[in-house]
Amino acid sequence: MERLMLPNYESANINVTETLIKKFEKPELNVNFVNREAIELKLKIPEVSLLGDVKANYLGWNYKVSFSIDIRNLEIDMRVKVIKNEITNETYITVHECNLTKNYATVLFHGKDAHHLNSFKGLLNKLIHSEISDAICNLPYNIKSFLEMENKIGMQKREKAVLAASEPTGEEEYYYNTLPEVLCLNYFQGSGLDNVSASNEVAFDLNKNTGIQIEDWGIDFSLKHLDTFLHNDIVFGIDGTILYLGQKPQNVTRSSLFKFDLMRERMLGLVITEYVANTFLQHLYIHQVGTLTEQFLPNDAPRMLRKVLNTFCSTCKLVLNANLTKRATLVISKDGIQLNLSGEFSISFIKRGSSRCALKADIAFLVNAKPMAYNSTIYGGLFLKNVEFKVKEIGVGGFVGRTLKNGLNAIVRKIFWPALEKKIKYLLNQEGIMLPNICGVNLEHLDIKYVDGAVIISSDFTYDIDHLAGAFTQFIDGRVQAKLQQNQNVNDILRNY
């Protein structure tokens, strides 16, 4: 917070400009949950020092001075009541108490006109108290409104994101509109996904290989279940439905509620039901998102396909393609996660823009997984338990047709399945996946349990304060630069000095 310029303040008789936070000591915050429906907060700010300029009109005379404000031992006691109406599905927030320490600010004027403005000290003190009181006491309402608006925006129907066809030139700049955007720029920074062995034969790119674009997806964060405030915990449930282009899927059975006493004693506990995953799978099927495609030239094709390419068409591109023919289903039990996939698999040759189907088959996968956590690293198995084929069409004859038909099982298991796994099996079985830094939050002491219908995740976490400070600085710098590019005044927004 230090070396930040506050927005200018203007009124009929006084204008406050160039207000700089010179010192801001680390605040202390204590939170308690009381009476099963309220949050009690105690905030103490040891010291804040401000410098700035004041222009004042007093009895027809205009004065201009500098000022310094020293705020010491500001204490704020607040009690916020949260109630959810299960009939109207509305969540109500009420600030029952919000008390601030009196006489916490000392104001001094500097300059030749300082003695004329001593009578304004009381007004400036009232202004400071009013601004701080309004900002703090209205914070719960503002947070609720912000979250509801963000969720409403996320659930608005929208068009599919269009990615830029060319690489950025470096001449244009993009300034992020929200603090969460800046905070989560390096969403998976530090993840084990960055350390995949370069020797893997099949490379995988989420958008290139499947057409899945993260920008098209979202989560419904609507509060679904009644909040419960215990002495040390708050328990609540969100909808959790996966959204595609702002829309919910239809005809997905919602899981029943689960007992929360299965969670470990951790700072954070999550119960993720199989309903959440199945809403994602429903989108994949209904919108035909996630069609998997792999393309090979003769020189870079896996060994078992090089001979086929060289025999049939040495200048062709070989394309493996798979898409769902019915909705995939995911079932969670004490034994882990089971995923059933059914689709159509095809092998085609492409030359000079024309395509020829060499083989087409119905295919069904049964995949088992049970990731576990140890020392902030996820290990476990992702196993192709069963695969079934039914060849529907063979578009080429002779050696090539026989090779493709007889080798279909090997092609899927040894070539296509590694691509479907998206390198995860290599990581899980050999190196593990280090828990990523998610928007500055580091998960620690992670515990994963499996019950019928849900995965239960318990974890402690720490927050990277330097990451938060850097993201906040980048955010306000972006707002300033965006205004400057539009030739707008920046004095009405928070900015760095």
Task: Encode pLDDT of 252-299 as tens digits.
Answer: 988 776 666 667 678 888 888 999 989 988 988 888 776 778 888 877
Other C-beta atoms lying within 10 Å of the C-beta of residue 169: 6
Tell me the C-alpha distance between 212 and 208, whole Å.
Answer: 8
Give pLDDT, residue 185: 59
pLDDT, tens only, 406-421: 667 676 767 666 665 6
Specify the pLDDT at position 348: 87
**pLDDT at residue 274 in the model:** 92
> Which residue stretches of the chain have pLDDT < 70?
1, 35-36, 150, 161-212, 214, 226-232, 257-262, 264, 290, 380-382, 397-401, 405-407, 409, 411, 413, 415-438, 492-494, 497
Buried b (16+ CB within 10 A) or exposed e, 204-220: beeeebbeeeeebbbbb
4-154 and 186-460, same CATH topology: no
Q: What pLDDT does 168 receive?
A: 43
pLDDT of residue 435: 65
- Buried/exposed code over 114-125 (b: 16+ C-beta within 10 A; e: otherwise): eebbeebeeebb
Q: Using an 8 Å Cβ cutoff, are 447 and 458 in contact?
A: yes
d(C-alpha 256, C-alpha 234), whole Å: 20
Q: How many CB atoms lie within 10 A of CB 130?
A: 10
N- to C-terminal Cα separation, the chain: 11
* Fold type of domain 4-154: Bactericidal permeability-increasing protein; domain 1 (3.15.10)
**Are 221 and 236 within 8 A, CB to CB?**
no
Domain 186-460 has CATH 3.15.20.10: yes
Contact indicator for 255, 241 with CB cutoff of 8 Å: no
The domain locations on the chain are: 4-154, 186-460
376 and 434 in contact (C-beta within 8 Å)? yes
318: alpha, beta or left, given left = phi > 0 and alpha = psi -120 to 50?
beta
Quick one: pLDDT at residue 397?
64
pLDDT at residue number 90: 78
Would you state the pLDDT for residue 224? Answer: 77
Q: What is the pLDDT of residue 77?
A: 92
Instruction: Report pLDDT digits (tens) over 354-374.
Output: 888 888 888 888 888 888 887
